[in-house]
Protein backbone atom coordinates (compact mmCIF):
# COMPACT_ATOMS: atom_id res chain seq x y z
CA UNK A 1 0.00 0.00 0.00
CA UNK A 2 1.29 3.48 -0.85
CA UNK A 3 2.08 5.58 2.24
CA UNK A 4 3.33 9.11 1.82
CA UNK A 5 1.97 11.38 4.51
CA UNK A 6 1.10 11.41 8.13
CA UNK A 7 -2.56 10.81 7.54
CA UNK A 8 -1.82 7.92 5.19
CA UNK A 9 0.83 6.18 7.24
CA UNK A 10 -1.54 4.03 9.25
CA UNK A 11 -4.64 3.78 7.11
CA UNK A 12 -5.55 0.46 8.59
CA UNK A 13 -5.21 1.69 12.15
CA UNK A 14 -7.64 4.56 12.38
CA UNK A 15 -9.89 4.20 15.35
CA UNK A 16 -13.54 4.11 14.47
CA UNK A 17 -14.78 5.97 17.52
CA UNK A 18 -17.43 8.61 16.99
CA UNK A 19 -16.25 12.16 16.55
CA UNK A 20 -16.47 14.06 19.87
CA UNK A 21 -18.61 16.49 17.92
CA UNK A 22 -21.45 13.99 17.93
CA UNK A 23 -21.32 13.51 21.67
CA UNK A 24 -22.35 17.14 22.07
CA UNK A 25 -26.10 17.63 22.08
CA UNK A 26 -26.01 21.37 22.29
CA UNK A 27 -28.90 23.43 21.10
CA UNK A 28 -26.46 25.46 19.01
CA UNK A 29 -25.70 22.49 16.77
CA UNK A 30 -29.36 21.61 16.35
CA UNK A 31 -30.24 25.18 15.43
CA UNK A 32 -27.33 25.43 13.00
CA UNK A 33 -28.34 22.25 11.19
CA UNK A 34 -31.94 23.44 10.87
CA UNK A 35 -30.80 26.84 9.65
CA UNK A 36 -28.48 25.24 7.09
CA UNK A 37 -31.22 22.93 5.79
CA UNK A 38 -33.85 25.61 5.41
CA UNK A 39 -31.32 27.96 3.84
CA UNK A 40 -30.72 25.37 1.12
CA UNK A 41 -34.45 24.92 0.59
CA UNK A 42 -34.96 28.68 0.36
CA UNK A 43 -32.10 28.99 -2.11
CA UNK A 44 -33.52 26.17 -4.20
CA UNK A 45 -36.95 27.78 -4.33
CA UNK A 46 -35.44 31.06 -5.45
CA UNK A 47 -33.57 29.42 -8.30
CA UNK A 48 -36.54 27.30 -9.31
CA UNK A 49 -38.64 30.46 -9.50
CA UNK A 50 -36.17 32.37 -11.65
CA UNK A 51 -35.09 29.41 -13.80
CA UNK A 52 -38.36 27.96 -15.00
CA UNK A 53 -38.83 25.54 -17.86
CA UNK A 54 -39.20 26.81 -21.44
CA UNK A 55 -42.93 26.14 -21.29
CA UNK A 56 -43.29 29.06 -18.85
CA UNK A 57 -40.31 31.19 -19.90
CA UNK A 58 -40.26 32.52 -23.48
CA UNK A 59 -36.71 33.87 -23.30
CA UNK A 60 -33.98 31.98 -25.21
CA UNK A 61 -31.90 29.72 -22.99
CA UNK A 62 -28.99 27.32 -23.07
CA UNK A 63 -30.92 24.04 -23.46
CA UNK A 64 -28.24 21.66 -22.22
CA UNK A 65 -27.20 23.43 -19.06
CA UNK A 66 -30.21 24.18 -16.95
CA UNK A 67 -33.68 24.15 -18.36
CA UNK A 68 -35.95 21.61 -19.92
CA UNK A 69 -35.61 20.88 -23.59
CA UNK A 70 -38.38 19.80 -25.93
CA UNK A 71 -38.13 16.03 -26.23
CA UNK A 72 -40.19 13.76 -28.42
CA UNK A 73 -41.84 11.04 -26.39
CA UNK A 74 -45.14 9.26 -26.14
CA UNK A 75 -47.27 7.01 -28.31
CA UNK A 76 -48.04 3.30 -28.35
CA UNK A 77 -44.71 2.26 -29.89
CA UNK A 78 -42.82 4.32 -27.33
CA UNK A 79 -44.76 2.78 -24.44
CA UNK A 80 -44.11 -0.68 -25.84
CA UNK A 81 -40.35 0.01 -25.78
CA UNK A 82 -40.63 1.16 -22.18
CA UNK A 83 -42.41 -1.99 -21.07
CA UNK A 84 -40.02 -4.24 -22.97
CA UNK A 85 -36.92 -2.61 -21.47
CA UNK A 86 -38.37 -2.68 -17.94
CA UNK A 87 -39.65 -6.26 -18.16
CA UNK A 88 -38.27 -8.53 -15.41
CA UNK A 89 -36.73 -11.71 -16.83
CA UNK A 90 -35.63 -13.49 -13.67
CA UNK A 91 -37.64 -15.12 -10.88
CA UNK A 92 -36.72 -12.67 -8.12
CA UNK A 93 -35.89 -9.73 -10.36
CA UNK A 94 -36.69 -6.07 -9.85
CA UNK A 95 -37.78 -3.31 -12.22
CA UNK A 96 -35.55 -0.24 -11.99
CA UNK A 97 -35.76 3.28 -13.37
CA UNK A 98 -32.16 4.51 -13.71
CA UNK A 99 -31.80 8.28 -14.04
CA UNK A 100 -28.58 9.62 -15.55
CA UNK A 101 -28.41 6.32 -17.40
CA UNK A 102 -26.05 7.52 -20.15
CA UNK A 103 -23.60 8.62 -17.47
CA UNK A 104 -20.54 6.74 -16.26
CA UNK A 105 -22.02 4.96 -13.23
CA UNK A 106 -25.47 4.66 -14.77
CA UNK A 107 -24.19 2.72 -17.76
CA UNK A 108 -22.31 0.21 -15.62
CA UNK A 109 -25.15 -0.24 -13.10
CA UNK A 110 -27.75 -0.75 -15.84
CA UNK A 111 -25.58 -3.28 -17.64
CA UNK A 112 -25.11 -5.26 -14.44
CA UNK A 113 -28.83 -5.19 -13.62
CA UNK A 114 -29.82 -6.29 -17.10
CA UNK A 115 -27.23 -9.06 -17.08
CA UNK A 116 -28.82 -10.69 -14.04
CA UNK A 117 -32.35 -10.48 -15.45
CA UNK A 118 -33.72 -7.30 -13.91
CA UNK A 119 -35.91 -4.87 -15.81
CA UNK A 120 -34.17 -1.56 -16.54
CA UNK A 121 -35.40 1.67 -18.08
CA UNK A 122 -33.08 4.65 -18.43
CA UNK A 123 -33.66 8.39 -18.36
CA UNK A 124 -31.08 10.97 -19.45
CA UNK A 125 -31.04 14.47 -20.96
CA UNK A 126 -27.68 14.03 -22.76
CA UNK A 127 -26.44 17.51 -21.89
CA UNK A 128 -23.02 18.70 -23.02
CA UNK A 129 -21.29 19.23 -19.69
CA UNK A 130 -18.78 16.89 -21.29
CA UNK A 131 -18.56 15.31 -24.76
CA UNK A 132 -22.09 14.12 -25.64
CA UNK A 133 -20.67 11.63 -28.16
CA UNK A 134 -19.32 9.58 -25.26
CA UNK A 135 -22.81 9.49 -23.76
CA UNK A 136 -24.22 8.42 -27.11
CA UNK A 137 -21.64 5.63 -27.29
CA UNK A 138 -22.73 4.46 -23.85
CA UNK A 139 -26.34 4.62 -25.04
CA UNK A 140 -25.47 2.35 -27.97
CA UNK A 141 -23.78 -0.05 -25.56
CA UNK A 142 -26.89 -0.17 -23.38
CA UNK A 143 -29.16 -0.55 -26.39
CA UNK A 144 -27.28 -3.70 -27.37
CA UNK A 145 -27.92 -4.97 -23.84
CA UNK A 146 -31.64 -4.34 -24.19
CA UNK A 147 -31.80 -1.14 -22.14
CA UNK A 148 -33.85 1.72 -23.59
CA UNK A 149 -33.00 5.27 -22.52
CA UNK A 150 -35.79 7.83 -22.54
CA UNK A 151 -34.38 11.18 -23.58
CA UNK A 152 -35.79 13.71 -21.16
CA UNK A 153 -35.19 15.80 -18.05
CA UNK A 154 -35.88 14.79 -14.45
CA UNK A 155 -37.48 18.20 -13.94
CA UNK A 156 -40.16 17.29 -16.47
CA UNK A 157 -42.92 16.23 -14.08
CA UNK A 158 -45.27 15.27 -16.91
CA UNK A 159 -42.74 12.85 -18.34
CA UNK A 160 -42.00 11.34 -14.92
CA UNK A 161 -45.68 10.78 -14.23
CA UNK A 162 -46.03 9.07 -17.59
CA UNK A 163 -43.11 6.75 -16.93
CA UNK A 164 -44.65 5.62 -13.65
CA UNK A 165 -48.03 5.18 -15.33
CA UNK A 166 -46.57 2.90 -17.99
CA UNK A 167 -44.23 0.91 -15.72
CA UNK A 168 -44.77 -0.10 -12.09
CA UNK A 169 -41.14 0.31 -11.01
CA UNK A 170 -40.14 -1.50 -7.84
CA UNK A 171 -36.97 0.59 -7.51
CA UNK A 172 -35.38 3.83 -8.66
CA UNK A 173 -31.61 4.23 -9.04
CA UNK A 174 -31.20 8.01 -9.10
CA UNK A 175 -27.83 8.94 -10.60
CA UNK A 176 -28.78 12.02 -12.63
CA UNK A 177 -26.90 15.06 -11.33
CA UNK A 178 -24.73 17.98 -12.28
CA UNK A 179 -21.28 16.69 -11.40
CA UNK A 180 -17.95 18.41 -10.89
CA UNK A 181 -16.60 20.71 -8.20
CA UNK A 182 -14.95 23.52 -10.18
CA UNK A 183 -17.70 23.97 -12.78
CA UNK A 184 -20.00 25.23 -10.02
CA UNK A 185 -18.07 28.50 -10.09
CA UNK A 186 -19.01 28.95 -13.75
CA UNK A 187 -22.61 27.75 -13.71
CA UNK A 188 -24.00 27.52 -10.16
CA UNK A 189 -27.64 27.44 -11.26
CA UNK A 190 -27.15 24.13 -13.07
CA UNK A 191 -26.30 22.46 -9.75
CA UNK A 192 -29.44 23.74 -8.04
CA UNK A 193 -31.53 22.85 -11.09
CA UNK A 194 -30.28 19.26 -11.30
CA UNK A 195 -29.20 18.30 -7.80
CA UNK A 196 -31.93 19.99 -5.77
CA UNK A 197 -34.89 20.79 -8.03
CA UNK A 198 -34.34 17.59 -10.00
CA UNK A 199 -34.26 15.47 -6.86
CA UNK A 200 -37.45 17.08 -5.57
CA UNK A 201 -39.13 16.50 -8.94
CA UNK A 202 -38.21 12.81 -8.83
CA UNK A 203 -39.29 12.37 -5.21
CA UNK A 204 -42.61 14.02 -5.99
CA UNK A 205 -43.21 11.49 -8.75
CA UNK A 206 -42.17 8.61 -6.51
CA UNK A 207 -44.36 9.65 -3.57
CA UNK A 208 -47.41 9.79 -5.84
CA UNK A 209 -46.71 6.50 -7.60
CA UNK A 210 -48.69 3.41 -6.69
CA UNK A 211 -46.86 1.37 -5.65
CA UNK A 212 -44.17 3.69 -4.35
CA UNK A 213 -40.70 2.49 -5.40
CA UNK A 214 -37.70 2.12 -3.10
CA UNK A 215 -35.09 4.73 -4.02
CA UNK A 216 -31.31 4.45 -4.02
CA UNK A 217 -29.48 7.60 -5.04
CA UNK A 218 -26.00 9.00 -5.46
CA UNK A 219 -24.84 11.46 -2.83
CA UNK A 220 -21.10 12.19 -2.65
CA UNK A 221 -18.03 12.00 -0.46
CA UNK A 222 -17.85 15.76 -1.06
CA UNK A 223 -20.41 16.25 1.74
CA UNK A 224 -17.58 15.72 4.26
CA UNK A 225 -16.15 19.03 3.06
CA UNK A 226 -13.61 20.53 5.44
CA UNK A 227 -13.89 17.68 7.94
CA UNK A 228 -10.36 16.76 9.07
CA UNK A 229 -11.22 13.58 10.98
CA UNK A 230 -10.25 10.48 8.96
CA UNK A 231 -11.38 8.12 7.76
CA UNK A 232 -14.72 9.74 6.98
CA UNK A 233 -17.60 7.99 8.72
CA UNK A 234 -21.32 8.33 8.04
CA UNK A 235 -21.68 9.68 11.59
CA UNK A 236 -19.18 12.50 11.06
CA UNK A 237 -20.21 16.12 10.64
CA UNK A 238 -21.21 17.21 7.14
CA UNK A 239 -22.09 20.84 7.77
CA UNK A 240 -18.92 22.38 6.29
CA UNK A 241 -19.20 21.96 2.49
CA UNK A 242 -16.20 23.21 0.53
CA UNK A 243 -18.07 23.60 -2.78
CA UNK A 244 -21.53 24.36 -4.11
CA UNK A 245 -21.62 20.82 -5.52
CA UNK A 246 -21.08 19.44 -2.01
CA UNK A 247 -23.71 21.80 -0.60
CA UNK A 248 -26.32 20.60 -3.11
CA UNK A 249 -25.58 16.96 -2.30
CA UNK A 250 -25.88 17.65 1.42
CA UNK A 251 -29.14 19.49 0.79
CA UNK A 252 -30.26 16.43 -1.15
CA UNK A 253 -29.69 14.21 1.87
CA UNK A 254 -31.81 16.50 4.04
CA UNK A 255 -34.55 16.67 1.40
CA UNK A 256 -34.51 12.87 1.11
CA UNK A 257 -34.95 12.58 4.86
CA UNK A 258 -37.94 14.91 4.69
CA UNK A 259 -39.68 12.79 2.03
CA UNK A 260 -38.88 9.66 3.98
CA UNK A 261 -40.41 11.14 7.13
CA UNK A 262 -43.51 12.67 5.56
CA UNK A 263 -44.37 10.29 2.75
CA UNK A 264 -42.87 6.95 3.78
CA UNK A 265 -40.42 6.70 0.87
CA UNK A 266 -37.65 4.12 1.34
CA UNK A 267 -34.44 6.05 0.66
CA UNK A 268 -30.78 5.04 0.57
CA UNK A 269 -28.01 7.58 -0.14
CA UNK A 270 -24.63 6.34 -1.38
CA UNK A 271 -21.63 8.58 -0.85
CA UNK A 272 -19.30 7.70 -3.74
CA UNK A 273 -15.55 8.24 -3.36
CA UNK A 274 -13.70 9.24 -6.58
CA UNK A 275 -15.05 6.64 -8.99
CA UNK A 276 -12.87 5.73 -11.98
CA UNK A 277 -12.68 3.15 -14.74
CA UNK A 278 -13.64 2.39 -18.38
CA UNK A 279 -16.30 4.63 -19.92
CA UNK A 280 -15.48 7.22 -17.26
CA UNK A 281 -15.98 10.99 -17.17
CA UNK A 282 -13.54 13.16 -19.16
CA UNK A 283 -13.61 15.85 -16.45
CA UNK A 284 -11.95 13.51 -13.93
CA UNK A 285 -8.18 13.83 -13.35
CA UNK A 286 -7.25 10.24 -14.26
CA UNK A 287 -9.09 10.69 -17.58
CA UNK A 288 -7.69 14.04 -18.70
CA UNK A 289 -4.23 13.18 -17.35
CA UNK A 290 -4.25 10.18 -19.70
CA UNK A 291 -5.40 12.32 -22.61
CA UNK A 292 -2.85 15.07 -22.02
CA UNK A 293 0.08 12.74 -21.34
CA UNK A 294 -0.55 11.02 -24.68
CA UNK A 295 -0.76 14.41 -26.42
CA UNK A 296 2.47 15.61 -24.84
CA UNK A 297 0.69 18.38 -22.95
CA UNK A 298 1.77 19.56 -19.52
CA UNK A 299 -0.42 18.33 -16.68
CA UNK A 300 -0.98 20.29 -13.48
CA UNK A 301 -0.61 18.35 -10.23
CA UNK A 302 -1.94 19.91 -7.05
CA UNK A 303 -0.05 19.98 -3.77
CA UNK A 304 -1.26 21.22 -0.42
CA UNK A 305 0.35 23.93 1.69
CA UNK A 306 3.96 23.34 2.74
CA UNK A 307 4.36 20.78 -0.06
CA UNK A 308 1.68 18.60 1.50
CA UNK A 309 0.19 15.58 -0.23
CA UNK A 310 -3.13 15.65 -2.07
CA UNK A 311 -4.72 12.20 -2.07
CA UNK A 312 -7.95 10.53 -3.09
CA UNK A 313 -9.74 7.32 -2.14
CA UNK A 314 -9.95 6.10 -5.76
CA UNK A 315 -12.72 3.50 -6.14
CA UNK A 316 -12.99 1.27 -9.20
CA UNK A 317 -16.32 1.26 -11.02
CA UNK A 318 -16.94 -2.49 -10.60
CA UNK A 319 -16.73 -2.11 -6.82
CA UNK A 320 -19.15 0.81 -6.92
CA UNK A 321 -21.58 -1.22 -9.03
CA UNK A 322 -21.51 -4.06 -6.48
CA UNK A 323 -22.35 -1.56 -3.76
CA UNK A 324 -25.21 -0.09 -5.80
CA UNK A 325 -26.73 -3.50 -6.50
CA UNK A 326 -26.38 -4.50 -2.84
CA UNK A 327 -28.18 -1.31 -1.81
CA UNK A 328 -31.00 -2.04 -4.26
CA UNK A 329 -31.29 -5.65 -3.12
CA UNK A 330 -31.47 -4.75 0.57
CA UNK A 331 -33.80 -1.77 0.15
CA UNK A 332 -37.09 -2.26 1.94
CA UNK A 333 -40.39 -1.30 0.35
CA UNK A 334 -41.71 2.21 0.73
CA UNK A 335 -44.62 2.41 3.15
CA UNK A 336 -46.77 5.10 1.53
CA UNK A 337 -49.55 4.95 -1.02
CA UNK A 338 -51.09 7.72 -3.07
CA UNK A 339 -48.81 10.26 -1.40
CA UNK A 340 -49.78 9.24 2.13
CA UNK A 341 -47.46 7.57 4.64
CA UNK A 342 -48.72 4.41 6.31
CA UNK A 343 -45.74 3.64 8.54
CA UNK A 344 -42.03 4.28 9.19
CA UNK A 345 -39.83 3.69 6.14
CA UNK A 346 -36.19 2.74 5.73
CA UNK A 347 -33.62 5.57 5.56
CA UNK A 348 -29.93 4.77 5.07
CA UNK A 349 -26.63 6.44 4.17
CA UNK A 350 -23.49 4.53 3.19
CA UNK A 351 -19.93 5.34 2.16
CA UNK A 352 -18.76 3.48 -0.94
CA UNK A 353 -15.00 3.88 -1.19
CA UNK A 354 -11.85 1.81 -1.42
CA UNK A 355 -10.41 2.73 2.02
CA UNK A 356 -6.94 3.18 0.49
CA UNK A 357 -6.15 6.84 -0.27
CA UNK A 358 -3.44 7.29 -2.90
CA UNK A 359 -1.48 10.51 -3.58
CA UNK A 360 -2.34 12.08 -6.91
CA UNK A 361 1.38 12.08 -7.74
CA UNK A 362 1.33 8.28 -7.52
CA UNK A 363 -1.69 8.16 -9.82
CA UNK A 364 0.41 10.01 -12.40
CA UNK A 365 3.36 7.63 -11.92
CA UNK A 366 1.12 4.62 -12.56
CA UNK A 367 -0.27 6.23 -15.72
CA UNK A 368 3.26 6.97 -16.94
CA UNK A 369 4.20 3.30 -16.61
CA UNK A 370 1.02 2.06 -18.27
CA UNK A 371 1.22 4.55 -21.15
CA UNK A 372 5.00 4.23 -21.44
CA UNK A 373 5.24 8.01 -21.63
CA UNK A 374 6.87 10.45 -19.22
CA UNK A 375 4.46 13.18 -18.23
CA UNK A 376 5.31 16.86 -18.40
CA UNK A 377 4.37 18.04 -14.93
CA UNK A 378 3.58 21.40 -13.41
CA UNK A 379 3.23 21.33 -9.63
CA UNK A 380 0.82 23.99 -8.38
CA UNK A 381 -0.85 24.89 -5.12
CA UNK A 382 -4.26 23.37 -4.41
CA UNK A 383 -6.75 26.10 -5.37
CA UNK A 384 -9.43 27.27 -3.00
CA UNK A 385 -12.26 26.53 -5.42
CA UNK A 386 -13.88 23.54 -3.79
CA UNK A 387 -11.19 20.88 -3.94
CA UNK A 388 -10.17 19.29 -0.64
CA UNK A 389 -6.79 17.91 0.35
CA UNK A 390 -7.80 14.28 0.82
CA UNK A 391 -10.66 11.82 0.98
CA UNK A 392 -10.70 8.53 2.89
CA UNK A 393 -13.76 6.33 3.39
CA UNK A 394 -14.68 4.35 6.45
CA UNK A 395 -16.74 1.56 4.85
CA UNK A 396 -17.39 -0.56 7.94
CA UNK A 397 -21.14 0.17 7.84
CA UNK A 398 -21.45 -0.82 4.16
CA UNK A 399 -19.36 -3.92 4.83
CA UNK A 400 -21.60 -4.94 7.69
CA UNK A 401 -25.00 -4.18 6.16
CA UNK A 402 -24.41 -4.50 2.41
CA UNK A 403 -21.57 -7.02 2.30
CA UNK A 404 -19.58 -4.39 0.43
CA UNK A 405 -15.96 -5.44 -0.16
CA UNK A 406 -13.97 -3.42 -2.71
CA UNK A 407 -11.31 -5.59 -4.34
CA UNK A 408 -9.62 -3.51 -7.07
CA UNK A 409 -6.44 -1.58 -6.32
CA UNK A 410 -5.50 1.52 -8.31
CA UNK A 411 -2.79 -0.19 -10.37
CA UNK A 412 -5.22 -2.88 -11.56
CA UNK A 413 -8.08 -0.47 -12.15
CA UNK A 414 -6.01 2.01 -14.13
CA UNK A 415 -4.65 -0.79 -16.29
CA UNK A 416 -8.22 -1.66 -17.29
CA UNK A 417 -9.06 2.00 -17.88
CA UNK A 418 -6.01 2.59 -20.08
CA UNK A 419 -6.82 -0.50 -22.15
CA UNK A 420 -10.35 0.82 -22.71
CA UNK A 421 -9.14 4.35 -23.43
CA UNK A 422 -6.63 3.31 -26.07
CA UNK A 423 -9.22 1.09 -27.71
CA UNK A 424 -12.03 3.64 -27.64
CA UNK A 425 -9.99 6.56 -28.98
CA UNK A 426 -8.32 4.58 -31.75
CA UNK A 427 -9.77 3.84 -35.17
CA UNK A 428 -10.50 7.44 -36.05
CA UNK A 429 -11.84 8.52 -32.67
CA UNK A 430 -10.03 11.33 -30.91
CA UNK A 431 -10.05 12.51 -27.34
CA UNK A 432 -11.57 15.92 -27.00
CA UNK A 433 -10.05 18.87 -25.21
Instruction: Say how many residues make up the chain.
Output: 433
Count of CB atoms situated within 10 Å of the CB of 286: 24
Q: Are 290 and 319 in contact (CB under 8 A)?
A: no
Q: Is 411 left (phi over 0), alpha (psi -120 to 50) or beta?
A: alpha
Angle separating helix axes 76-86 and 157-166, nearest 10 degrees: 70
Collapse the DSSP code of 98 into the 3-class scheme (helix H, G, I; strand E, B; otherwise coil) and give the result. strand
- Look up residue 268 and give its DSSP letter: E
Nearest to 129 by CA among 245, 223, 303, 218: 245
The Cα-based distances of 411 to 46, 288, 322 in angstroms read: 45, 17, 20
* H or E segment and range at residue 285: helix 285-295
Strand partners, 267: 215, 347
CA distances from 314 to 244, 301, 352, 420 (A): 22, 16, 10, 18
Q: Which residues make Cβ contacts (< 8 Å) with residue 198, sequence separation at least 6?
A: 153, 154, 155, 176, 177
**DSSP label of 4:** -
C-alpha to C-alpha distance for 48 and 69, rounded to whole angstroms: 16
Q: Which of 51, 129, 130, 245 is catalytic?
A: 245
Tell me if residue 263 falls in helix, strand or coil.
helix
Asked about 425 being catalytic, the answer comes back as no
Helix axes 285-295, 360-371, angle to 10 degrees: 40
Phi and psi, residue 203, nearest 5°: -65, -35
Residues labelled as active-site residues: 245
Amino acid sequence: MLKHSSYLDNTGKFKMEKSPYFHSKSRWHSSLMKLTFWSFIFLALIFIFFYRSPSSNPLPQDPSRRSLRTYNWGGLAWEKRLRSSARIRSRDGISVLVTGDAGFVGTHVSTALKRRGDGVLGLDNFNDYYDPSLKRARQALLDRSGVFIVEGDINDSTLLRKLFEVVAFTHVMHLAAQAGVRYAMENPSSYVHSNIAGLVSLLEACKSANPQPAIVWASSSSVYGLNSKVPFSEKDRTDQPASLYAATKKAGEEIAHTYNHIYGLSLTALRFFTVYGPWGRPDMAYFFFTRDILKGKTISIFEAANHGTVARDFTYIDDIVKGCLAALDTAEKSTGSGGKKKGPAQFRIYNLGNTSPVPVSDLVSILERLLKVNAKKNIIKLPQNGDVRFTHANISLAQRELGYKPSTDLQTGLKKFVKWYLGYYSGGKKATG
